[in-house]
Chains A and B, each alone.
Chain A
Amino acid sequence: MSVISNLSDEEIAEVVRTKDKEAYAEIIKRYQTKLMRYASYIMGDDHMGADVVQEGFIKAYVNLNGFNSKKKFSSWIYRIVHNEAMNMLNKHVKQLPINRVVEFDGGVNLENEFIKNEMINHAHLCLEQMPIIYKEPLSLFYLEEKSYEEISDILRIPIGTVGTRINRAKGIMKKLCQKHQK
């Protein structure tokens, strides 16, 4: 396993489909936190996010021979999770997003922690109201730190559209947050 951990994602994918299917555990280890953060953010609910990620990992494994190892594995797996999230959102279209459960850490500075959590909550409240077409590129760019090209590959939209949506999302975010402050 220590040798596996030195390999790139694309190399591990090749190992899984040709030699050792158990090497897929390394892929899960590398991506579970990132994908969970992305899916939870899109779905607005951790439990639904977990379902999306689990289904995404299964689909990625089943379709591993469809992955072109000349391309980025991360974009491919994010694309699968994006599709899963869209399918689930369509199913639950009438269901309102459940607010995120705030977990308080037993910190020393309670006042700072409270302000920080308030700010996070405020930001999430604004974000939850944002349309999905702006929410997604914004989360991929700022939370997942993906490049415009990677976002274009994940969402299957032109690079120019990615830039436009991120810029519009920033404007919408500003308006939403100002509205909440009033």
Chain B
Amino acid sequence: MSKTPKIIPVDFKKAIMAKVKSNEISIKPRWYFIVGSLLTVAGLVGFSIGAIFLTNLTLFLLRQHGPMGQWRLQIMFNSFPLWVPILATVGIILGIWMLKKYDFSYKKNPWFVIVGFIVSIILAAFILDYLGLNDRWSHKGPLRRFYQQVERQNSTFPKGPGRMQNGVGKGFLRNLDSAH
């Protein structure tokens, strides 16, 4: 391969320096880049916290179905607040997108960054759930009302064994009672 392929010689100096001298183009101020970096950090932290919280909430709602609850998928999908895991997934995707804006990310294997981020989010959510923060938040504090609302949305079908009465769950009975 030739190291000196012939190219048309172009003098950019005159054209660009004329724009520089006439202030047609000017250097963006330093604060512009500082604000940009701060927003990137805030975005990453925000999306991470959001994703952790919503993943944790998903785990909490799944746990509420009691043992073997996952087997009643059909009933569960009918009433499960699907927006929670969907938003958690969106948070994870946006978090990864923000993470890729950092200089270090391209030096690592992209799959390592993606899988690492997802695993950290799920692990953090598990830890929050394990520490019982969900139970605490659902009973007191500023998130109480939000938790109760989501729980109500999630409890329109029978929970756990022994909750069924004549093949109909308590939630259904409640609805039937109100219908009469």
Interface residues of A (CB under 8 A from B): 16-17, 21-22, 24-25, 28-29, 32-33, 36-37, 40-41, 46-47, 49-50, 53-54, 57-58, 61-66, 100-103, 119-120, 123-124, 127, 142-143, 152, 156-160
Contact = CB atoms under 8 A, between A and B. Distances in A.
Interface of B: 1-3, 5-13, 15-17, 19-21, 25-30, 32-33, 36, 106-110
B6 A32 contact: no
B89 to A, nearest CB: 25
A93 B107 CA distance: 29
B107 A61 contact: no
Contact of A57 (B5, B16, B21): B16
B6 A62 contact: no
B6 A102 contact: yes
A16 to B, nearest CB: 8
The 10 nearest A-B residue pairs measured at CB:
A156-B106, A46-B8, A66-B33, A65-B30, A28-B13, A50-B10, A103-B6, A120-B2, A40-B7, A64-B27
A58 B19 contact: yes
A50 B15 contact: no
Contacts of A41: 5
A42 B5 CA distance: 13
Given A50-B10, A53-B10, A142-B1, A158 B107 contact: yes
B15 A22 contact: no
Contacts of A53: 10, 12
5 contacts: A22-B17, A28-B16, A37-B5, A65-B27, A65-B32
A47 B17 CA distance: 20
Given A29-B13, A40-B7, A152-B106, 9 more contacts: A25-B17, A37-B5, A40-B5, A63-B27, A63-B28, A66-B36, A103-B6, A124-B5, A142-B1
A143 to B, nearest CB: 6
Given A21-B27, A22-B21, A49 B12 contact: no
Given A66-B33, A152-B107, A36 B7 contact: yes
